[in-house]
Homo-oligomer: A and B are copies of this chain.
Amino acid sequence: MSPARARTSHDQIVAAGRELLEAGGLDAVSMLAVAERVGVRAPSLYKRFADRGALIAAIGAAALEDLGRRLLPLTQDPDPAAGLRGIAAAFRAFAHRNPHAYELLFMNLPPGSRPPAELNALASAPLLQVAQRLVGSERALEAARLVTAFAHGFVSMEITGAFRLGGDVDEAYRYGVDVLVDALTAARADRLPRTIEPNEAPPP
């Protein structure tokens, strides 16, 4: 007659998972630990998530949405080169702030527990938009992939401690972004031989 009242929720479970993730890495996100943190027993979690993989996937999706929301406003800069620098900096800052969530975003997950394509598109859109303004529509996807690969590879190596030859890591990131911005700006210049000033006639 009196069905048991819900003592937790999907969102509360995901939030607890994210906290455990940042505090102790993926191993710390056990069904026991999550359940304890939200005040139920482990078996109850299976009412809302098919298994641990589904819960981890939901945590990753939440983090991806978070990242996308942070990158979005940076496309507003009228200078696409400045926009690209801003996105590169914000991307790295996000990874530094949430290293374990970041790791999860780029983890090799079974196809079933990847974030929904729409979320993926939302997080990719800002860079794609800036890249298009920088190098034109034809090469926008390749340029965006170049920048994403560099930025992801760099912060991923940073987080896992793969830069072990000394040197200034901040400086190396700045150098990499500089080289990429210059190269992509030049790539546009190759196609549009010179800037068209307001009062100047367009080239033939």
Contact = CB atoms under 8 A, between A and B. Distances in A.
A78 B41 CA distance: 65
Nearest to A139: B175
Contact of A145 (B25, B143, B156, B163): B163
> Chain A: interface secondary structure?
helix
A128 B103 CA distance: 26
Contacts of A111: 161
Contacts of A117: 164
Given A152-B153, A156-B156, A165-B141, A146 B176 contact: yes
A107 B179 contact: no
Contacts of A187: 179
A202 interface: no
A150 B183 CA distance: 14
Interface of A: 25, 103, 106-109, 111, 114, 117, 120-121, 124, 128, 139, 141-143, 145-146, 148-154, 156-157, 159-167, 171-172, 175-176, 179-180, 182-184, 186-187
Contacts of A142: 167, 171-172, 175-176
A81 B203 CA distance: 34
Nearest to A100: B108
Contact of A108 (B103, B143, B149): B103
A176 B142 CA distance: 7
A102 B148 CA distance: 19
29 contacts: A25-B108, A108-B159, A109-B160, A111-B161, A117-B164, A120-B164, A121-B165, A139-B175, A141-B165, A141-B166, A141-B167, A142-B167, A142-B171, A142-B175, A143-B175, A145-B167, A146-B172, A146-B175, A146-B176, A146-B179, A148-B157, A149-B153, A149-B157, A149-B176, A152-B157, A153-B153, A153-B154, A179-B183, A179-B184
